[in-house]
């Protein structure tokens, strides 16, 4: 299994904002979206690292995880935003830069 990226910075930022922000606050919404995207990146890394899966099985599992992430986020996924979050995870930069 692939090593887990540091998703905790995204989770911590989201958790901190939920304490004092309204549910419709744009910064809170963005933090939630980025946390969902970061978790999705972890799932994708796990799927692609599994040697027992064929490419088709990997694609099916990734598509299923993306649909779940869209339901959680409450909107269609932005490939551009997902790539930005993935790059931050890979670089180890903080979630504060995601905003």
Instruction: Pull the structure tokens for residue 69.
Output: 């992430």
Does the residue 3 lie in any domain? no
Instruction: Pull the structure tokens for residue 63.
Output: 């598509």
| pLDDT tens figures, 4-39 | 457 888 999 999 999 999 999 999 999 999 999 999
Owning domain of residue 82: 8-92
Instruction: Pull the structure tokens for residue 98.
Output: 């995601």
Total count of domains within the chain: 1
Does the residue 15 lie in any domain? yes
Does the residue 35 lie in any domain? yes
| pLDDT tens figures, 38-92 | 999 989 999 999 999 999 999 999 999 999 999 988 888 888 888 888 888 887 7
- Are the CB atoms for 10 and 34 separated by under 8 Å? yes
The pLDDT value given to residue 66? 93
The pLDDT value given to residue 94? 55
Q: Report DSSP state, residue 75.
A: S
Task: Give the predicted TM-score (pTM) of the model.
Answer: 0.78
């Amino acid at each position: 299994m692939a090593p887990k990226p540091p998703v905790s910075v995204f989770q911590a930022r989201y958790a901190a904002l939920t304490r004092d922000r309204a549910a419709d606050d744009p910064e809170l919404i963005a933090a939630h979206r980025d946390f969902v995207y970061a978790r999705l990146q972890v799932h994708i890394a796990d799927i692609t690292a599994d040697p027992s899966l064929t490419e088709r099985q990997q694609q099916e599992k990734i598509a299923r995880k993306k649909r779940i992430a869209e339901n959680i986020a409450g909107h269609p996924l932005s490939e551009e935003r997902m790539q930005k979050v993935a790059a931050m995870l890979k670089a180890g930069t903080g979630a504060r830069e995601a905003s």
